[in-house]
Amino acid sequence: MASKRRFSYRWRIFVPMLGMMLGIIGVLVFFQYKRESTYRHTEVVQQLDFINSRIVNAYQRGVELRPFLNFITSYYDGSDLEGISVNVYSSDGQLLYNVGLPILQDFPEVTRQEEYKAAIANGSGMEKRIVGGKPHIFLGTASPDGEIFVHTSMPYTTPLLDMLAINPDFWRTVAILIVATVFGCIFSTRYLVRNIRLLQAFADRAARNEGVFDADKFPHDELGDISRQIVKIYHDKDEAVHRSEKEHKIALHAVEEKSRLKRELTNNINHELKTPIGVIKGYLDTIASNPDMDAATRDRFIARSRENVDRLCSLLSDVSAMTRLEEGAGNVPVTGVDFHDLVFTIENDLTASGMAGNMAINYNLPLDCIVKGNGTLLVGMVSNLIKNAAQHSHGTEMGLRLIVESEKYYTFSFYDNGTGVEPQHLPHLFERFYRIDAGRSRKVGGTGLGLPIVKNTVEALGGTITARNRSEGGLEFLFTLEKWRGRQ
């Protein structure tokens, strides 16, 4: 019993020494890291606060803000704060000015944020939160008279993260210090190396099955206990091999079962494709085997066959479009596209073809609205938005308008006055094959890929898109497209 309670001399020295040294190093590193990180974050916040304060001062002095905001954009372009967004709101919630890629938020949503509440109470407030899956720093500043509110956001871009990152020399120093500490502790217990080598030689012989070893040859100390355990492992080796073989068979069976389930899934997918093909074949075979069929029945069969063919073609076309967008998003050829003319053409074509149904299409776009894009992709994007509204909104009107123009981006709104969707469905509208049972079922047609294609198109062209319900009824899609600046 006494031998079981003994600790080796190596661990009696090595563990406390190494633990104490690493503990001291850890405490020093922790406090230094926190101090450096806090300093760097404070420096960024101070720069954002300086921007807000200058805007408020310019407003109080009656200076026109647009030139100053344009100066901010050009000044920080290419710097660590590239990507900054500044929004200036009036006291009644109107967006007066905007620079940078806009964070698509209504003013009532802004007023619910902590930085706004702190700014109203103390003049300035700061908060960090996630927007669009990315962390941002938000800083709000209110003018003393409460007439304007400056809302600045800064995403954690790569340059900003590099700015906030601790100097690599710091971590190299820590690593060198830890390695030196470990080696120092190892060398201090070097007197045990000889016994460990002897034990290793014994283990090598046992692994090669070079004979049975008497466990009593080992001393009754810590190394002896380890050695006897190794002998026990040696004697149990055959049993372990048999267990391993049994477990291998079980694992092989699991792999085969997984393959079987995969084949079943593949068969189910094939069945979904074969079903409309079988329907088409059935109608055509019936027509071919009944040459005396009356014209009305034959026309009905042909019409239904065409419907299934059109659906298959649409599905294959949409799947192909999705694949091209996902695999070649970085290789999409772009040029300047007159968005006003493009929408004008689409509106005329869809209205004439009846694909917009009974809904009126309105648009309010400036004549010089030239975006960076691909004409074919943009036609498909706008057409899918119109078709989606015509099939699913149950409204009487849809529209497309420009709502915000910054130095680099246009922000557009596509809306309808229909029924909208339940809030729980909004995050899933851009998922493949996602359908809403109430009013958006398969009965009204579509492949379930229209909105995913819209999202992939906008993102492939460097923009963003979100969906929300309108307060006055209907659904609204807010998306951004980059301005065309000639040869880019």
CB-based burial, 50-82: b 16+ in 10 Å, e otherwise: ebbebbbeebeeeeebeebbeebbeebeeebbb
As a whole number of angstroms, the distance between CA 168 and CA 152 comes to 30
Question: Looking at residues 375-385, what average pLDDT do you find?
Answer: 88
* Per-residue pLDDT tens over the stretch 92-113: 888 888 887 655 567 788 888 8
Residue 266 has pLDDT above 70, yes or no: no
For 100-109, 167-176, 257-266, which range has the lowest pLDDT when averaged over its residues? Answer: 257-266
Q: What is the DSSP letter of 95?
A: E
Q: Are 414 and 399 in contact (CB under 8 A)?
A: yes
Q: Which helix (H) or strand (E) holds 399?
A: strand 397-405
pLDDT at residue 477, as a whole number: 95
pLDDT at residue 336, as a whole number: 92
As a whole number of angstroms, the distance between CA 133 and CA 445 comes to 32
pLDDT at residue 271, as a whole number: 45
How much of the chain exceeds pLDDT 90, in percent?
13
Please give the domain boundaries of the chain with CATH numbers for all domains.
Answer: 12-164 (3.30.450.20), 256-327 (1.10.287.130), 330-482 (3.30.565.10)
413 band by pLDDT with thresholds 50, 70 and 90: very high
220 band by pLDDT with thresholds 50, 70 and 90: low
Cα angle, residue 402 at apex, residues 397 and 403 outer, rounded to 5°: 100
pTM, two decimals, is: 0.41
17 band by pLDDT with thresholds 50, 70 and 90: confident
Residue 76 has pLDDT above 90, yes or no: no
As a whole number of angstroms, the distance between CA 332 and CA 117 comes to 43
